[in-house]
Amino acid sequence: MRQKKAISDAVIERLPLYYRDLLLLQDAGIDIISSEKLGERLGITPEQIRKDLTCFGAFGKKGVGYYVSELCQQIVEIIGLQQHWKIGIAGIGHLGWALANYKTFGRLGFRTAGLFDVDHRIIGQNVGGVVVTPIADMKDVIRKEGIQIGIITTPAAVAQQVADQMVEAGIQGIFSFAPLRLTVPDNIFVFREDLSIGLSRISYYLTNKKED
């Protein structure tokens, strides 16, 4: 499967949606699904689904649909989930704790291999099968475990310092929940999820929605 052209971020963001729903179909014992049925489940037009998948090659069989297990595997290869990425989470408060116990990570090809915090009440605890270690030891653990992706759920005041330590230790990508823009080298991919912005957007649309 070779990419024929540059792929837009919108397409890349829809691929995990397809994959997640295909896993549900597998669990339900469904072997084949059409783009129409898949679109109904996801709220995406069948034309968009076909167009997205065409970016990566020919999938499915005309008049039949997509073979669920086969398309699952193909999307795994497109996204790179077969590489079994290792994750390190810095900040084991409520959000970090929930992420450490998020069972779907494993099914998606991600494995939590390091948990880090400064709170001595948390350090040493086993969370989701991984022992929380002092954030002072984070660089050593990242290097020892070969962790490639860092998740930051720390307070904003220390997020940049944590990111710097992750980058120095060899982290290749960072998913940050801290409400600030991180400064990292150009070769480090950063994705930022700001819940306050998301909630504010909902507030705007609810406030300005048209009356029926």
**Ligand-binding site membership of 93 (annotated):** yes
**Ligand-binding site membership of 96 (annotated):** yes
Amino acid identity of residue 125, one-letter, is: Q
Pairing of strands 66-67, 32-33: antiparallel
**Ligand-binding site membership of 170 (annotated):** no
CA 79 to chain centre: 11
Residues 6+ apart with CB under 8 A from 203: none
What's the CA gap between 13 and 59, in Å, rounded?
19
**Ligand-binding site membership of 84 (annotated):** no
Half-sphere exposure of residue 162, counting CA atoms within 13 Å on the CB side? 28
**Ligand-binding site membership of 198 (annotated):** no
Minimal CA–CA distance to 195: which of 176, 210, 168, 211?
Answer: 176
What's the CA gap between 82 and 127, in Å, rounded?
25
Could you give the 3-state DSSP secondary structure of residue 102?
Answer: coil
**Ligand-binding site membership of 22 (annotated):** no
Residues at the annotated binding site?
91-96
Residues at the annotated binding site for NAD(+)?
91-96
